[in-house]
Amino acid sequence: MSKLKRRRREIRAAGLLTAPFLFVFTVFFLFPTYKVIALSFTDAPLIGEGQWIGLANYAKLLNDRLFFTSLWNNLYFVLLTVVPTTVIALLIALAVSKLKGRMQALVLTLFFLPYVLPVSVVTLIWAWMLDFQFGILQPLIAAVTGKAVPVFNNPHWVMPMIAVVTIWWTNGFNVLLLIAGLRNIPEDLYEAAALDGATPWQRFWRVTWPLLWPVTALVLTLQLILQLKLFDQVYLLSNGGPFNSSYVVLMQMYREAFQLNNGGYASAIAMVLFLVIVIVSVLQFQLLRIGGRK
Amino acid sequence: MKATGVHLKAVKKSFGVVDVIRGVDMDVDRGQFAVFVGPSGCGKSTLLRMIAGLEETSDGQIFIGDRDVTHEDPADRGVAMVFQSYALYPHLSVYENMAFSLRLAKRPKTEIDDKVRESADILQLTDHLQKKPAQLSGGQRQRVAIGRAIVRAPDVFLFDEPLSNLDAELRVQMRLELARLHQKLGATMIYVTHDQVEAMTLADTIFVLQGGHVQQSGAPLDLYDDPSNRFVAGFIGSPSMNFFDATVDDRTEDGVVIRLSGQPDLTLNVPLSKPPSMGASVVLGMRPEHLIVTKAEGLRVTVDVAEELGGVSYQHGTLEGGDAVIFQQAGVRHGMHGTVQTVTPEPGRIFVFDTEGERIR
């Protein structure tokens, strides 16, 4: 009897404690997700009901050239950011971890500072710095290429420049993760390796790198997911141009939903992007795990 | 003969303004098992790490064999170290852990294989070579750490409290294995511990460290029988020596008559070659096993705790003046708990120290 009573009390407590989360999760995540999936099979506008049209939106997507351009641009951007940002973050983390005490905290803060800024401020800063007429980085570009370049209006420059801005903006977080990973490697192991005759280079490749690999794999996967969701920087810096050369999937979804009022079609685009992200990131994480085990 | 072994000359170490090692001279001869022992913070681990090259030496010189290695890289010193945490590479198998240094040195594969298997054989690790460190027990990990050292065939083995992460039973077992290993390899070994039992059982020579100085060095029983100061007397031996404040009452032909503070009825004759002056304050040291229960005059001890271990028992109590006393009883069960006993020190087994802690002989 008392056992039953206690059990009932535990269930009540558990229910009470999880209820707020379950409520928020259902209202703001599960329901909208269901709505998007349902919308993607209709010809509904953004607001209001529509007709069930089956897979017609998905079929239309397969013949949409802008969609494939956008998808390609997304993959190009992933290539430009994911591995470079991880490598840069690792180099910075290794350098910062050599510093001690307050100096380390200060330098780490400096590297983390851009991450704190809102994306609108980040893009404004870089739009000024890269401005065609009076941007302070133009002399540098001119020194390399021979003349000033309107980077966000040049199809060859636009994606790499957005990648640079993005790396500058988000790198601090990766540095933080990698520093935490580096701190988890016991100092003893480096001392043992030094006694075993390992050079600093060998210490990195034979001790640091394999032991840091789980964190590196995590950073790579998080970056992949984040960079596939690219929208804000493009929207604010180039608006997809010039000649759609920086158009990405989320921009197309935004345009279909909020500018052309095609709620159903936009939902289908969102669903496809969602599937791409799930498949690619799961695939990558598994590959990285296998790579780490060898 | 300076051709072999480890030799330290006026070695000093300071971290900023804090002096940790304040001038240490020592000679560990080839093939000796030397133990650094002392309370935590005495600098024993720092000294070992200086010999390994993991800490810079602020002043003085370190020789291994006849080479001055004071400022050489750890890898070039010909030393191998076993860490308290074992410091095994968690991502490598037991085999690769042991082969690590040889692979770095780009030795031929067959040589690596021979050496790893040979030391795995010595340490009974042959069945575990393909396992990762996480799959091993504490004792096995310890053996891998030792194996990693053996494979390198170093001139000097350094052990930094290697047994302190093991449980009591395993610790005793590994202690024996280390003693056997030392006999088998015949290499110079330096071992750091805070456990004086480990020090007594393993060492050829013990170096007792305190406050950055070597307090005394010598064979374990020499330190036990003839400590040169109060610190060494109290540190070596378990349970530790009893100390009592006393004054010199009178001088005899070959020594002094000493009266314990708070014990007006009891005087002790102690032979000394350099007796202190009359009325001087001294400290008497008596080991628990040298206090004998007697019917005659002696120290009256109220026993409040009796630790019965079967073979021996340790009786903890207090004198009338309040001083704590431990005395040892062998063999029979006494049931002394709560009783008042009279004990007297064995003649010739009383150590006399001056108020500074130095031994008066």
Query: What is the three-state SS of chain B?
Result: CCCCCEEEEEEEEEECCEEEEEEEEEEECCCCEEEEECCCCCCHHHHHHHHHCCCCCCEEEEEECCEECCCCCHHHHCEEEECCCCCCCCCCCHHHHHHHHHHHCCCCHHHHHHHHHHHHHHCCCHHHCCCCHHHCCHHHHHHHHHHHHHHCCCCEEEEECCCCCCCHHHHHHHHHHHHHHHHHHCCEEEEEECCHHHHHHHCCEEEEEECCEEEEEECHHHHHHCCCEHHHHHHCCCCCCEEEEEEEEEECCCEEEEEECCCCCCEEEEECCCCCCCCCEEEEEECHHHEEECCCCCEEEEEEEEEECCCEEEEEEECCCCCEEEEEEECCCCCCCCCEEEEEECCCCCEEEECCCEEEC
Query: Average pLDDT of chain A?
Result: 89
Q: Which residue has the higher pLDDT, A282 or B337?
A: A282
- CATH fold of A65-293 reads MetI-like fold (1.10.3720)
Tell me phi and psi for residue B220, to 5 degrees: -50, -50
Q: Which residue has the higher pLDDT, B127 or A49?
A: B127
Q: Output the pLDDT for position A208.
A: 93
Q: Which residues of B touch A206 (CB under 8 A)?
A: 89, 100, 104
Q: Output the pLDDT for position B253.
A: 82
What average pLDDT score do residues A3-27 get?
Answer: 93
What average pLDDT score do residues B266-290 get?
Answer: 88
Whole-model pTM? 0.81
Contact A211 B91 (CB under 8 A): yes
Contact A198 B104 (CB under 8 A): yes
Q: Output the pLDDT for position A177.
A: 93
Contact A192 B85 (CB under 8 A): no
Which of the four pLDDT bands, split at 50, 70 and 90, describes residue A292? Answer: low
Q: Output the pLDDT for position B1.
A: 41
Q: Examine the pLDDT at B2 and tell me if it is beyond 80.
A: no
d(CA A171, CA A111): 8
Which of the four pLDDT bands, split at 50, 70 and 90, describes residue B348? Answer: confident
Q: How many CB atoms lie within 10 A of CB A288?
A: 17
Contact B89 A202 (CB under 8 A): no
Q: Output the pLDDT for position B23.
A: 87
Respond yes or no on whether ipTM tops 0.85: no
Handedness of CA A10, A11, A14, A19 (dihedral sign): negative
Can you tell me which residue has the tokens 């006694």? A195
In order of their start, the domains of chain B are: 6-235 (3.40.50.300), 242-360 (2.40.50.140)
What average pLDDT score do residues A41-57 get?
Answer: 83
State the DSSP code for A152: G
Instruction: For chain A, give every domain's residue range.
Output: 65-293
Residues of B with CB under 8 A from a CB of A: 52-54, 73-75, 79-81, 83, 85, 87, 89-91, 100-101, 104-105, 148, 152
Contact (CB, 8 A) for A251 and A163: no
State the DSSP code for A99: S
d(CA B193, CA A119): 57
CB pairs under 8 A between A and B: 53
Calculate what percentage of chain A has a pLDDT beyond 90: 45
Q: Output the pLDDT for position B237.
A: 87
Which of the four pLDDT bands, split at 50, 70 and 90, describes residue A285? Answer: confident
Q: Which residues of B touch A192 (CB under 8 A)?
A: 81, 83, 87, 89, 148
Can you tell me which residue has the tokens 């790396």? A167
- Dump pLDDT digits (tens) for B25-53: 999 998 899 999 988 888 899 999 999 99
Contacts of B288 (CB under 8 A, 6+ apart): B239, B241, B242, B314, B326, B327, B328
Angle of helix B109-122 relative to helix B138-151, nearest 10 degrees? 140
